[in-house]
Amino acid sequence: KGKEEKEEVGPRDFKFLTMLGAGDVGKVYLARKRGTKDLFAVKILQKKEMVQRKKVKRVLVEREILSIVDHPFIVSLHWSFQSLSQVYYVMEFCAGGGFYRMLSKLPERRLLEDPARFYSAEVLLALEYLHMQGFIYRDLKPENILIHHTGHIKLADFDLSKTSNTPVHSRLTDQVFVAKPTLITNSFVGTAEYIAPEIITGFGHTSTVDWWTFGILLYEMLFGFTPFASSTQSGLFENVLHQEVEFPERIPISKNCRDFIRKLLKPDPKKRLGAVDGAPD
């Protein structure tokens, strides 16, 4: 059970209040544990749909990751159990809702540089922790970030993540944990506007793919749209592979911020910021 709570629970221990969201193989509900005032987000996955859509491995990987990780900026798994037809994940409820929803309510869907720095710093710490544990997140985007009631962020949705049998190589340098990118995978995953060049070309990718998506996320936070958008997927991929990142002049950001994004969005993963020493870069 890893870090999950040891108390034996099942579906009857929860009162389901309202649906929070839905995916292709299941739904997420707000639920209260009976006999308490404690609220949880309960993901209910249909086994039949998991098999039909070939999502069994993804669900098991998500369960493995959530049972291992313990980090202030990653959503916590409290219990997991199953019935004959369903799998249940009882997770931490984030009352602030989705980060995407928060952005969509802002003028021009964008943040000023200071709050963007705050949120991106927390995302960076969560990604580096995952890399230290041997995981590549691979699906960073506003839709997969939740807002805790304290105002801090929580990464969620790990079904596209990749795990290795052993942790990504890490070392201790001046009291800073460093996760180097060693695990290479070739599978094509992620959201189109966030996909890194090495995934498009199929040459295989390491944890540096997360630093590319981190750069796209920071850009979208600051400008309200992604840097390589196109009306077609082929046009988008062409832009990702060959177009230099551009910054709208009407939205002023600091030179340091522009340089930071440029270094994260290097098409060559070996030259990308984070390729050598991860987050400490």
139 is an active site residue: yes
Which listed residue (70, 139, 159, 174) is catalytic? 139
**Does residue 155 come out as left (phi exceeding 0), alpha (psi in the -120 to 50 range) or beta?**
beta
Strand runs labelled E in the chain? 14-22, 26-33, 39-46, 77-82, 86-92, 135-136, 145-147, 153-155, 162-163, 170-173, 176-179
Task: Please tell me the distance from the alpha carbon of residue 54 to that of residue 47, in angstroms, as a whole number.
Answer: 10
- Give the bridge partners for 28, in sequence order: 21, 43
Q: At CB < 8 A and 24+ separation, what contacts does 37-43 make?
A: 39/93, 39/95, 40/14, 40/78, 40/90, 40/91, 40/92, 40/93, 41/75, 41/90, 41/91, 41/92, 41/93, 41/94, 42/14, 42/16, 42/88, 42/89, 42/90, 42/91, 43/88, 43/89, 43/91
* Crossing angle of the two packed helices 113-132 and 208-223, in degrees rounded to 10: 160
- Give the bridge partners for 26, in sequence order: 45
Taking alpha carbons only, the member of 36, 38, 58 closest to residue 49 is 58
Task: Please tell me the distance from the alpha carbon of residue 101 to that of residue 142, in angstroms, as a whole number.
Answer: 8
Active-site residues: which are they? 139
